[in-house]
């Protein structure tokens, strides 16, 4: 099993519902976020092109945060999801420094926190909360090893990119372009 | 024209707008650990080679600094942890891919070794010392018998400690400035140089002082070579590493790096030590303190600047 997410940058309108849904679902402390929306504008008016990306942890297949963790608190669970076990985490910050996407943050309680693909939801057959609430249905989530999952199907017919693959992390967040 | 903004707003403390997860604790520890490693490597090396009589201060006196350096360093590391009550997790896991795990275990070995080494030489500081309890005396006898083995452990773990302080940073490929294997040998050389400088301050023997001024000079030369080498590597590498080097070649860290590390920390003490070896009267502690200062600044600047360097995004 290999969970992955695809983000349709042509459908996303940048409403930030995914961000709020995540903060609510995961009780993210005020002032913090596990996902965020990037808006890229190219060109000069009136020739403008826009790309909007809902970003979060890339759940890298070659995750530097897992490699650098001295206690094994950062680890990869079934489906390739990168998670942190709070009670194993010493809060040293090595994983935060090792993430080229700056997708992790130190929780005010001391441990390191990050996107979990809403593991507690997907293990119960639900979608991650960001995917669930997206009003434009621009987020696709599923198992890459299942050829009929929504993410496999959309990646089969659309052009896509990943973010800074040259950092050598093998990111699993796909952006449809 | 391209404009890229986070429209949902992202201001995660210590991560945005630029990473600043590590403050003074980490560079201070890197310096203290590196200097302790330098002192212990030199002491072990001269002891193993049977030069204890010629370099008495380096083998028997300067190591008394290391328990303080290591304990202060460990304290700084502990203060840096944000989930402090779980620090023991470091010692219930061995993660071979994590330099921090290596470092934690190395400290676990080298700190007691440094204490034992000092205990064996305690009469050099307090001639009247008495261990009082018979089991302590037996322990002293035991370690005295295997002192050579102890020196080898000290040498090997000293080298690991000295290199690891650099490897710790170079393992982070997310920070292009740190992502160079030169940092390992550079921090080792800097630690050895600070270690030699501390003997230079403490020694009352002019032959020993001369030798340590020479060691310091060689280390300064090696450091300068490695720093030039590091910038050559950056400038011939990818855009992110070119930008990392630019921070020191016209960017925000130019003045602090070239003035505090290169000029005051390496070049001027190097010149002073050459003058001293040429029999000009220079108070030995002046270049030595400058070397130690440069060694501290090198860690601080590399740790702070490294957090500013990032992938194009």
Is B19 within a domain?
A: no
Provide, as residue numbers in chain B, all residues whose Cβ is less than 8 Å from the Cβ of A42.
Answer: 1-2
Q: What is the mean pLDDT of residues B205-219?
A: 94
The complex's ipTM works out to 0.92
pLDDT digits (tens, 9 = 90+) for A47-71: 999 999 999 999 999 999 999 999 9
Segment A88-112 mean pLDDT: 95
Residue B7 is assigned to a structural domain of this protein: no
Question: Scanning every residue of chain B, which has its alpha carbon at the shortest distance from the alpha carbon of A73?
Answer: B89
Q: How many domains does chain A have?
A: 1
Q: Count contacts between A and B (CB, < 8 Å).
A: 159
- Binned at pLDDT 50, 70 and 90, residue B313 comes out as low
In-domain check, residue B52 = yes
Residues of chain B with C-beta less than 8 angstroms from the C-beta of A110: 82-84
Give the domain extent around A36: 3-176
Query: Rounded mean pLDDT of A129-136?
Result: 96
Model confidence pLDDT, tens digit, residues B239-286: 999 999 999 999 999 999 999 999 999 999 999 999 988 988 888 899
- Does B310 contact chain A (CB < 8 Å)? yes
Domain of B128 in residue numbering reads as 25-308
Total domains in chain B come to 1
For A123-127, what is the mean pLDDT? Answer: 94
Mean pLDDT of chain A: 95
**pLDDT score of B9:** 87
Mention every residue, 6+ apart, whose C-beta is less than 8 A from residue B72.
B32
Chain A residues within an 8 Å CB radius of B11: 31
Q: What is the pLDDT of residues B125-159, one digit of tens each?
A: 999 988 889 999 999 999 999 999 999 999 999 99
pLDDT of residue B288 exceeding 70: yes
Given this model, what pLDDT does residue B284 score? 86
Among B14, B20, B79, B172, most A C-beta atoms within 10 A, so best to mutate, is: B172
pLDDT above 90: percentage of residues in chain A: 99
> In this complex, is the C-beta atom of B149 within 8 Å of any C-beta atom belonging to chain A?
no
Asked if residue B221 has pLDDT above 90, the reply is: yes
The per-residue pLDDT of chain B, averaged, comes to 94
Using a CB-CB distance cutoff of 8 angstroms, which residues of chain A are in contact with residue B96? none
pTM of the predicted structure, to 2 decimals: 0.94
Tokens, residue B77: 């590391």
Which of A36, A164, A167 is nearest residue B6 as measured by Cβ atoms? A36
Q: Which of A64, A73, A91 sits opposite B81 (nearest CB)?
A: A91
CB contacts under 8 A, B 233-262 vs A, are 238
Q: Report, as an integer, the average pLDDT of B55-69.
A: 95
Q: Is residue B18 part of a domain?
A: no
Give the pLDDT score at B1. 82
Residue B110 to chain A, least CA–CA distance (Å): 18
Q: Which residue in B3, B21, B174 is closest to A100 by CB distance? A: B174
Interface of B with A in 17-46 (CB under 8 A): 19, 21-22
Q: Which residue of chain B comes nearest to A30, CA vs CA?
A: B12
Q: What is the pLDDT of residues B170-182, one digit of tens each?
A: 999 999 999 999 9
Q: Does residue B313 lie within any of the structural domains?
A: no
Q: What is the CATH number of the domain that holds A170?
A: 3.30.70.20
**Taking 90 as the threshold, does the pLDDT of residue B115 lie above it?**
yes
Are residues B172 and A38, on separate chains, in Cβ contact within 8 Å? no
User: Is B86's CB within 8 Å of A38's CB?
Assistant: no
What CATH code is carried by the domain that includes residue B287? 1.20.1630.10
**CB contact (8 A) between residue A16 and residue B7:** yes
**B231 domain residue, yes or no:** yes
B14 contacts in A (CB within 8 Å)? 93, 96, 105-106
**Region B26-43: what's the mean pLDDT?**
97
pLDDT for the residue numbered B312: 74
Q: Is residue B183 part of a domain?
A: yes
Q: Does the pLDDT at position A78 exceed 90? A: yes
Average pLDDT over residues A34-58: 94
């Amino acid at each position: 099993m290999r969970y992955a997410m695809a983000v349709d940058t042509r459908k996303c309108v940048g409403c930030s519902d995914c961000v709020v849904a995540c903060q609510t679902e995961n009780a993210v402390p005020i002032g913090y976020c596990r996902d965020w929306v990037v808006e890229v504008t190219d060109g000069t008016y009136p020739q403008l092109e826009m790309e909007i990306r809902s970003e979060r942890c890339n759940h890298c297949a070659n995750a530097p945060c897992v490699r650098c963790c001295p206690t094994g608190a950062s680890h990869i669970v079934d489906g390739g999801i990168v998670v942190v076990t709070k009670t194993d985490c010493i809060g040293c910050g090595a994983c935060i420094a090792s993430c080229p996407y700056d997708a992790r943050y130190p929780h005010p309680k001391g441990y390191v926190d990050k996107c979990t693909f809403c593991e507690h939801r997907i293990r119960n057959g639900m979608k991650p909360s960001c995917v669930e609430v997206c009003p434009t249905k621009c987020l696709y989530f599923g198992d890459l090893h299942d050829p009929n999952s929504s993410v496999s199907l959309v990646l089969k017919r659309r052009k896509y990119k990943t973010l800074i693959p040259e950092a050598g992390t093998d990111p699993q967040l796909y952006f449809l372009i | 024209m391209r404009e890229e903004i986070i429209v949902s707003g992202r201001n995660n403390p210590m991560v945005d707008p630029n990473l600043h997860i590590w403050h003074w604790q980490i560079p201070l520890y890197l310096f203290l650990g590196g200097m302790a490693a330098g002192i212990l490597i030199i002491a072990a090396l001269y002891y193993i080679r049977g030069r204890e009589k010629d370099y008495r201060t380096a083998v028997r006196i300067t190591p008394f600094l290391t328990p303080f350096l290591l304990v202060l360093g460990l304290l700084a590391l502990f203060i840096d942890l944000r989930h402090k009550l779980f620090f023991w997790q470091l010692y219930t896991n061995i993660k071979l891919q994590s330099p921090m795990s290596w470092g934690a275990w190395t400290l676990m070995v080298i700190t007691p070794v440094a204490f034992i080494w000092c205990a064996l030489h305690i009469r050099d500081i307090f001639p009247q010392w008495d261990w009082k309890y018979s089991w302590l005396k037996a322990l002293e006898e035991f370690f005295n018998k295997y002192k050579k083995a102890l020196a080898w452990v000290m040498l090997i773990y000293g080298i690991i400690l000295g290199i690891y302080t650099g490897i710790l940073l170079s393992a982070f490929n997310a920070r292009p400035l740190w992502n160079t294997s030169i940092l390992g040998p550079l921090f080792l050389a800097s630690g050895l140089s600070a270690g030699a400088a501390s003997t230079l301050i403490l020694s009352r023997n002019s032959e020993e002082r001369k030798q340590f001024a020479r060691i310091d000079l060689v280390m300064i030369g090696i450091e300068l070579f490695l720093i030039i080498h590091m910038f050559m590597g950056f400038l011939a590498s990818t855009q992110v590493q070119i930008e990392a080097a630019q921070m020191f070649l016209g960017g925000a860290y130019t003045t602090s790096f070239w003035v505090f590390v290169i000029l005051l920390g390496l070049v001027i003490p190097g010149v002073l030590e050459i003058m001293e070896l040429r029999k000009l009267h220079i108070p030995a502690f002046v270049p030595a303190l400058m070397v130690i200062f440069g060694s501290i600044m090198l860690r601080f600047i590399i740790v702070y600047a490294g957090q500013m360097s990032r992938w194009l995004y």
